[in-house]
Amino acid sequence: MSKEIKNDDIFELSFEEVQSLIEEVGEKKFRAKQVYEWLHNHPISSYDDMNNVPKSLRQKLSEKYPMDALEIRDIQESVDGTKKYLFNLKDGNVVESVLIPNSDGRITACISTQVGCSMNCAFCATGSQGLTRNLSAQEIVFQLAQMTKDSGERFSNVVVMGQGEPFLNYDNTLKAIRQFNSDEAYKIAARKITVSTCGIIDGIEKFLEEPEQFGLAISLHSAVQATRNVIMPKTKNMPLNSLSAAISDYIEKSNRRVTLEYMLLKDVNDDDAHLAALIDFCNHPLLHINLLQFNEVDSCEFKSAGMPVLKHFENELTKNGVPCSIRCSKGSDIDGACGQLANKTKVAFN
């Protein structure tokens, strides 16, 4: 008698459960090893990728455990080598992901967790579109699978910094990044997988309890409450003093570094008063500031503060003992840089 299987995602089945499934559908037992290895040792996004598994078995599997297939609809390549992928989802929605090459040979995948975003940050093209729905764990994983198959690259890093607020799709995000980290799957070290949040405090508290050493980045963008309320309106109920306390607790209990993202907007958060507030906010040695240039988007009229201002912030933060760096966004010419992912094409397909 086969063992009862409770999971509804075939990627979450143990080897023993896959064996029971193969027995249940009337196939030979040795097929379980083939199927399991395809699921966990190859970047697949469809049963059709299992080219040594009989079509009859693939059909049975697809009926019992449908895959949330992604189809590459478009690829744009930047002059700097960045590639932006537009994926069709099976319900007619689309989502974007980005392949980012680094000068040291590392390849980073920027992954999305939602179709759109509910946070409505004023500088972000995704937020201006609102939230359509969460992505499933499979849909999150398949972004990396499809980029891996198309590019032939082995990704060394993953940043969950694409479309959506990952801590508002917490369970599916964690399932996906564990798949990225798994020795049976993508084998990406936990410390090379970073999840970025707007500062969802209960998400930070849950993330602290996870056993893996995943990285945490927080979109701060202002340490002045009134300014943050304007540019990140959905964080009003997560005030800076509460966020600071959550960050301190996270660092003290995990002993992991937290990255704060700070995008400098001309005449918004780039003066000396905002700089002083940022220095005061960074009261822990394991904080690191990434200073970002604003990437222009159609949905807002902000302007970049400019490189001289970024350099000024960098110098003053460094003088005050705050570790920081200027992060140069890639792919802006294809709307693939930070804040530019917008799903501009949304057409149903068959």
Does 40 belong to an annotated binding site? no
Does 242 belong to an annotated binding site? no
**Adjacent-strand bridge partners of 183:** none
Active-site choice (17, 96, 139, 261): 96
Tokens of 19: 């064996």
Widest CA span of the chain, in angstroms?
Answer: 71
Among candidates 302, 346, 335, 255, which has minimal Cα distance to 84? Answer: 335
Does 198 belong to an annotated binding site? no
Q: Is 96 a catalytic residue?
A: yes
Q: Is 37 a catalytic residue?
A: no
Does 153 belong to an annotated binding site? no
The DSSP bridge pattern shows strands 94-101 and 107-110 to be: antiparallel
Active-site choice (110, 198, 300, 338): 338
Whole-angstrom distance, CA of residue 304 vs CA of residue 337: 14
Does 165 belong to an annotated binding site? yes
Does 324 belong to an annotated binding site? no
Does 196 belong to an annotated binding site? yes
Does 220 belong to an annotated binding site? yes
Ranges of H-type helices in the chain: 15-24, 31-41, 55-64, 137-151, 170-181, 201-208, 225-231, 240-254, 272-281, 307-319
Does 295 belong to an annotated binding site? yes
CA 8 to chain centre: 23
Does 117 belong to an annotated binding site? yes
Residues at the binding site for [4Fe-4S] cluster are 117, 121, 124
Residues at the binding site are 117, 121, 124, 164-165, 196, 219-221, 295
Q: Which residues are catalytic?
A: 96, 338
Residues at the binding site for S-adenosyl-L-methionine are 164-165, 196, 219-221, 295
